[in-house]
């Protein structure tokens, strides 16, 4: 009887061990199956690290096209040289043989000149000119027709103020001293008067000085602004009496000029080269 009990207990223990081992194998199988989804093993049964999926390289986006924002305004031209035609209006106060003052009317004369300029920047510069101008005035005295002519070489040196020298259109304002040099004068008389013993002469100082001023419009004629057209106005107010204080040695002559300073008003048309 004891022997049968012993055999039964041994059989029960064997059955229990077998069941436990089966459950353990099942757990291991499940565990192995789960791990195989994340790891791999080589032939030596060593675990190899899982290969992470690689992300495809993304090419950088092409840069947006850059607009051409370059300033197309030409560089400032520092130097200028040009030629001018100056139709000039002027008047002289004259006197007759008996001392009466004859107010002259405005008369047109023709002037010519050259100019040179230096631009410090696009707004400020200095400008010098050499202009030839002849003042001509007609009047009547004792039934005679007389024409007085005085020629000057004018040299203004002026400060120039500009809106912008680099633009196709530039407006300028100029002002400064002007020096004048008398290079000739004459009085022409047409007709004769009975008993006329006096001869009209003109006595003018060799030089004078005054104030020149004006404004002008500059128009570029090409894209590089190396060639332009100039239009404008020029005025002059003299500070010095143009009449000579020296009296003629001939008692039968008289000076037709009345003590007065020179005043002129001119327009100008010019072509200028810029460099």
Query: Which neighbouring-strand residues pair with 243?
Result: 204
Three-point CA angle 79, 83, 89, nearest 5°: 125
pLDDT confidence of residue 129: 98
Which residues are within 8 A (CB) of 162 and not within 5 positions of it... i.e. 6 or more apart?
119, 122, 123, 124, 125, 170, 171, 172, 173
For 47-93, the pLDDT digits (tens) are 555 555 555 556 666 666 655 556 678 999 999 999 999 999 988 88
Computed over every residue of the chain, the mean pLDDT equals: 81
Say if residue 194's pLDDT is above 80: no
pLDDT of residue 173: 98
Whether the predicted pLDDT of 231 surpasses 90: yes
3 has pLDDT over 60: no
Q: Which residues contact 229 (CB under 8 A, 6 or more apart)?
A: 218, 219, 221, 270, 271, 272
Tokens of 202: 């003109």
The answer on pLDDT for 229 being more than 50 is yes
Which of 179, 177, 75, 181 lies closest to 126, judged by CA?
A: 177
> Is the pLDDT confidence value at 248 over 70?
no
Q: How high is the pLDDT of residue 170?
A: 98
**Helix spans in the chain (H):** 2-35
Task: Please tell me the total number of residues recorded for the chain in this structure.
Answer: 275
Q: Which of 153-162, 188-197, 255-264 has the lowest mean pLDDT?
A: 188-197
pLDDT of residue 105: 73
Radius of gyration over every alpha carbon of the chain, rounded to an integer in angstroms? 54
- What are the φ and ψ backbone dihedral angles of 46, each rounded to 5 degrees? -95, 145
- pLDDT the model gives residue 196: 58
Any idea what the Cα angle at residue 154 is, between residues 150 and 160, rounded to 5°? 150
Taking alpha carbons only, the member of 175, 174, 238 closest to residue 207 is 238
Q: Which of 183, 221, 189, 219 is nearest to 204 (CA)?
A: 183
Predicted confidence at residue 29, as pLDDT, reads: 42
> In terms of C-beta density within 10 A (0-12 exposed, 13-18 middle, 19 or more buried), how is residue 258 classed?
middle
Nearest Cα residue to 94 out of 147, 31, 159:
147
Structure-block tokens of residue 136: 């001509």
pLDDT mean over 208-226: 97
Looking at mean pLDDT, say which of 4-18, 29-43, 169-183, 200-214 comes out highest.
169-183
């Amino acid at each position: 009887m004891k022997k049968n009990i012993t055999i039964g207990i041994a059989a029960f223990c064997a059955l229990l061990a077998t069941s436990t081992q089966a459950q353990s194998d099942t757990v291991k199988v499940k565990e192995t199956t789960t791990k195989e989804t994340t790891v791999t093993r080589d032939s030596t049964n060593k675990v190899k690290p899982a290969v992470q999926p690689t992300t495809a390289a993304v090419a950088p986006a092409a840069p947006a096209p850059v607009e051409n924002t370059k300033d197309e305004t030409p560089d400032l031209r520092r130097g200028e040289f040009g030629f001018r035609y100056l139709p000039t209006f002027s008047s002289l106060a004259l006197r007759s043989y008996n001392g009466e003052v004859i107010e002259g009317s405005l008369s047109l004369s023709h002037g010519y000149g050259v100019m040179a300029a230096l631009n410090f920047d696009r707004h400020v510069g200095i400008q010098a000119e050499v202009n030839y101008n002849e003042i001509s005035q007609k009047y009547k005295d004792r039934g005679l027709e007389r024409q007085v002519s005085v020629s000057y070489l004018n040299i203004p040196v002026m400060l120039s103020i500009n809106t912008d020298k680099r633009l196709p259109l530039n407006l300028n304002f100029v002002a400064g001293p002007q020096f004048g040099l008398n290079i000739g004068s004459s009085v022409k008389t047409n007709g004769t008067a009975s008993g006329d013993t006096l001869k009209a002469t003109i006595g003018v100082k060799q030089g004078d000085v005054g104030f020149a001023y004006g404004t002008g419009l500059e128009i570029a004629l090409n894209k590089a602004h190396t060639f332009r057209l100039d239009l404008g106005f020029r005025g002059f107010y003299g500070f010095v009496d143009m009449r000579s204080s020296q009296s003629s040695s001939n008692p039968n002559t008289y000076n037709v000029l009345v003590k007065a300073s020179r005043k002129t008003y001119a327009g100008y048309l010019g072509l200028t080269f810029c460099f």
